Amino acid sequence: MLKLTVEEIVTKIKNEETFEAVSSDYSFTIKIDKYVHYACGAVHDGHQFRKELWDNCLHTAYERWFEEDPETKEMVKSHPIVIAGMDSRFEYDLNRAPDNAIYTDAWGKQLWKNPLTENQIEKSLQKHTNFYKVVHALIEKLEEKFGICVVYDMHSYNWKRWDREVPAWNLGTSNVDNNRFGKVIESWRETLEKTPFPNGINATSKINDTFQGNGYFLKYITQNFKNTLVLATEIAKIYCDELAQIMYPEVVKSVEQYLKTELKKHAEEFYKEYNLHE
């Protein structure tokens, strides 16, 4: 793995170079083993929280972890193109627009003892900006090369806070073109419904049941690139004990192994259906 500036990463993408890198500010990673018509993202995978903010934060490390999406990068690590955040959404949220990316409160609790300084805010927003410079360059290259692209936008959610039965998988589709892409959206839901979870976990899969796909990552790509479908894919935190902070690696592995083949198959199906170069 290389350590590269955003400018160096963008240059490599424009030149269609394969590489694996961490950004020079250690805010995100990107891997491109091969240029293909699909990519995986895990914007909330990170837990880093820069030290100058520690003493001013009212949320514990556990409270931050509880709202993050641990192991979502791990679930798609085998695919050729993966981009993932390393920083906690509590420092800045990559799935929110820049003017809303830094929380003042989070899930009903004030976040900071004292308001952040302008300098602290700018440091965080610069990392947000850098990430989207790379996202833009990546999707631009994939659309240029293949004409069409699909992005698997991986998230997780806390199922135990719901007071009703919720699905193991939720697809958020309210901000994508369902008339154009409805067939492949449904086939992705059906694919997820067949996930062979261990421990008797039921692989239910629904569309817009718990979340509707309102994240900035999806919106940014959808609004800037007309031939890219972003599939906001949320797994319930059935792969850990979200209250005791215990990970279940056998569940994570089962998802990773299943998506290794089935996500690729789905991406190939998408390309055959919507390929603009034929």
What pLDDT sits at residue 126?
Answer: 97
DSSP designation for 75: G
Residue numbers of the domain that contains 165: 2-274
275: confidence class by pLDDT, cuts 50, 70, 90: confident
Measured between alpha carbons, how far is 231 from 152 in angstroms, rounded to an integer?
5
277: confidence class by pLDDT, cuts 50, 70, 90: low
Q: What is the mean pLDDT of residues 51-66?
A: 95
Helix, strand, or coil (residue 240)? strand
pLDDT digits (tens, 9 = 90+) for 79-93: 999 999 999 999 999
Residue indicated by tokens 């992705």: 188
Is residue 278 scored above 60 in pLDDT?
no
Measured between alpha carbons, how far is 2 from 215 in angstroms, rounded to an integer?
29
State the first-to-last Cα distance of the chain, in angstroms, to the nearest integer: 36
| Domains contained in the chain, number | 1
Q: What is the CATH number of the domain that holds 79?
A: 3.40.630.40
Is residue 276 scored above 70 in pLDDT?
no
Q: How do strand 28-32 and strand 19-23 relate by DSSP bridges?
A: antiparallel
What pLDDT sits at residue 20?
Answer: 98
